[in-house]
Structure 1
Amino acid sequence: MKGVPVSSLIEKMNLDNLTREINADKIRIVHPDINRPALQLTGFYDHFDNERVQIIGYVEYAYINKLSREEKIRTFDKLLSSKIPCLVWSRSHKPDEDILTLARKYGVPILMSDKTTSDLMAEIIRWLKVELAPTISIHGVLVDVYGEGVLIMGESGIGKSEAALELIKRGHRLVTDDVVEIRKVSDDTLVGTAPDITRHFIELRGVGIIDVKTLFGVESVKNTQAIDMVVKLEDWNKDKEYDRLGLEEQYTELLGNKIVCHSIPIRPGRNLAIIVESAAVNYRQKKMGYNAARELYNRVQQNLAKRMKEDEE
């Protein structure tokens, strides 16, 4: 079943659970946004999204305190019976026993936080957007090279893990080998991580499984990394034209996001680690406004223009 269990939200946000008898593991949050049910407390339920986490802030709390007991029970009976995943009270405000009784009746966890409403909303939304982001798993290796997330792809046995190991020895950090779990956390950002079972391990054919964290230390690994560029390794084909200047960027698409992509042909004598490292540095330079290929092109054009002017004279 998709979604995030309410128990994970309780643990991550350090919330007080006022209804522990309700099994929060079985209730799942499937929407990353939240709602402050101010209008719902007044009885307006048009366009109400009951799949969202509901938060009672200072304004809602002040309004509730002005209601009579009968109005309060009637108001929360309608809200809690609408199958919301949970109801969170900010600023350490605590609901009365009538509300807790209704929550137990309808199986809705009542949670409490000492954070301000704005801070609590921002933290929950940020966390849920990551947890509920569209996710795919692909075959590849993800490495942090000079702060750039480099996803190395290619056919099985082409040398992805060996390239990653050499990069680690050169001071870079491994995120995952073999399987990369990719989350689309925004329209601009893809974040890669490793499955729990294979985290920090690399498979080397002829050697076996090695534990990178144990062999090279904690500074050689990283749990998550934004994916900035893709390097595709492929067997050298003498009949294929490879990009030798890099004036125009090539892209690949992952979860609808366009990522800069380089196809690297493999042949004996090529040091993959240095090539990947250089590609990462070159990409970093481009982000900072310097393009070596464009600089060379401009120099050639200037030189041609100079010679044509000399010939005319």
Structure 2
Amino acid sequence: MKVTVQDLIDKIQFNVIYSTPTALKKEVTTSEIMRPGLEMAGYFNYFTPERIQLFGMKEWSYMMDNVENNRYDLLKKVMTDVTPLVIVARSLEIPSEMIAAAKKQDIVILQSREATSRLNSILTTFLDEKLAERISVHGVLMDIFGVGVLLQGMSGIGKSETGLELIKRGHRLVADDRVEIFQRDAFTLSGEPAEILRNMIEIRGVGIIDVMNLFGAGAVRDFTDIDMAIYLENYDNDKEYDRLGNGSDEIILDNVSLPQFRIPVKTGRNVSVIIEAAVMNFRAKQMGYDATKTFEDRLTNLIEKNSEDE
């Protein structure tokens, strides 16, 4: 996924000091941010011009107090033809030499009121998410009780229909049919819809439904972290299903492990209610309460009591 300078301006509040239409279309290719402090002192051995150049109080102070005669020459070396943009934090004054260098190299200059460290964090988080490699999986992604749930199963099992029922019960759709998954950090997966399918769900026999139009803005989300997966499968009389909840399967998506629960589907089973119960039980375990352990403890106590009575 690509991120342009215009995308940054649309997402994060900046004061645009200098820009041109072509400069706004430049792409940001890395989430790494460069603070050119040593470069202002003339040391360019390990300079990375392809990064966003961020001037905080230290860089700005040195540039303004100690670099005067060759300020323009140094800024020309910092602001190269591969530099996507320059940002000055803390609403610091923009020197005329910086604007002149930006005009020469066709580079956008932005000014932010944010403190430098906070702005660095905001930029890195946004770019990490947007530039992360995406994988596409088949399924329905829902926000159920604040838990990101990926519904999967064979084609025709009823994933979208179940998603629609969950929407009617007050939960939120993130993506239907195709879920774009990316690794937000080493332990967290996030998912979002393919742009062409955003806020839409396909129901066989009905067609495409615009969920936001029919159910309101509260029925959809742009993205969510994925906390668990549920696999819907046809009920098999010969298969032994977990009845105590002693454990769940795990699946690996984009090198991140997710708990997976397999729910059998057959006539008469209210799958959406079962999914709600599975999610609430998952949340309870996350908060430290395990109904299975409680049952096993009660069973152990009952066996011990009966043994004593004998």
TM-score, length-scaled by structure 1: 0.91
Letter in 1 for 2:89: S
Cα distance 1:292–1:95, how it changes in 2: closer, same or farther (>3 A)? same
Shift of 1:82: 7.4
CA distance in 1, matches of 2:204, 2:220: 21
Shift of 1:43: 2.3
CA distance in 2, matches of 1:168, 1:110: 44
**Aligned 8 A contact 1:22 1:108 in 2:** no
**Aligned 8 A contact 2:49 2:79 in 1:** no
CA distance in 1, matches of 2:6, 2:157: 43
Letter in 2 for 1:145: I
Structure-to-structure mapping, 1:1-313, within 5 angstroms = 2-21=1-20, 23-81=22-80, 83-311=82-310
TM-score, length-scaled by structure 2: 0.92
Cα distance 1:78–1:22, how it changes in 2: closer, same or farther (>3 A)? farther
CA distance in 2, matches of 1:227, 1:97: 48
What whole-Å deviation, never above 9, does each CA across 1:70-129 have from its counterpart, x for those lacking one?
A: 321232232223733221111222333333222232333222223222332222122112
Shift of 1:216: 2.4
CA distance in 2, matches of 1:32, 1:81: 18
CA distance in 1, matches of 2:277, 2:44: 57
Q: Percent identity?
A: 38
CA distance in 1, matches of 2:264, 2:245: 15
CA distance in 2, matches of 1:299, 1:251: 28
Cα distance 1:255–1:200, how it changes in 2: closer, same or farther (>3 A)? same
Letter in 1 for 2:178: V
Letter in 1 for 2:230: V
Shift of 1:277: 0.8
CA distance in 1, matches of 2:219, 2:98: 51
Letter in 1 for 2:90: R
CA distance in 2, matches of 1:82, 1:309: 84
CA distance in 1, matches of 2:248, 2:42: 55
CA distance in 2, matches of 1:259, 1:160: 19
Shift of 1:22: 6.1
CA distance in 1, matches of 2:47, 2:246: 51
CA distance in 2, matches of 1:209, 1:62: 57
Shift of 1:44: 2.6
Which structure: greater strand fraction? 2
How many positions carry a matched residue from both structures?
Answer: 310
CA distance in 1, matches of 2:200, 2:132: 25
Task: Please state whether the residue corresponding to 2:22 is helix, strand or coil.
Answer: coil
Gaps of 5+ in 2: none
The 10-residue stretch of structure 1 (141-150 or 239-248) with the greater mean CA deviation from structure 2: 239-248
The 10-residue stretch of structure 1 (11-20 or 261-270) with the greater mean CA deviation from structure 2: 11-20
CA distance in 1, matches of 2:107, 2:222: 34
Runs of 4+ in 1 over 6 A off after TM superposition: none
Shift of 1:67: 3.2
**Aligned 8 A contact 1:22 1:107 in 2:** no
Shift of 1:274: 0.9
Task: Please state whether the residue corresponding to 1:281 is helix, strand or coil.
Answer: helix
Task: Please state whether the residue corresponding to 1:23 is helix, strand or coil.
Answer: helix
Cα distance 1:218–1:108, how it changes in 2: closer, same or farther (>3 A)? closer
Shift of 1:25: 4.0
CA distance in 1, matches of 2:50, 2:272: 47
Cα distance 1:78–1:216, how it changes in 2: closer, same or farther (>3 A)? closer
Gaps of 5+ in 1: none
**Aligned 8 A contact 2:85 2:108 in 1:** yes
**Aligned 8 A contact 2:190 2:224 in 1:** yes
Cα distance 1:22–1:209, how it changes in 2: closer, same or farther (>3 A)? closer
**Aligned 8 A contact 1:34 1:53 in 2:** yes
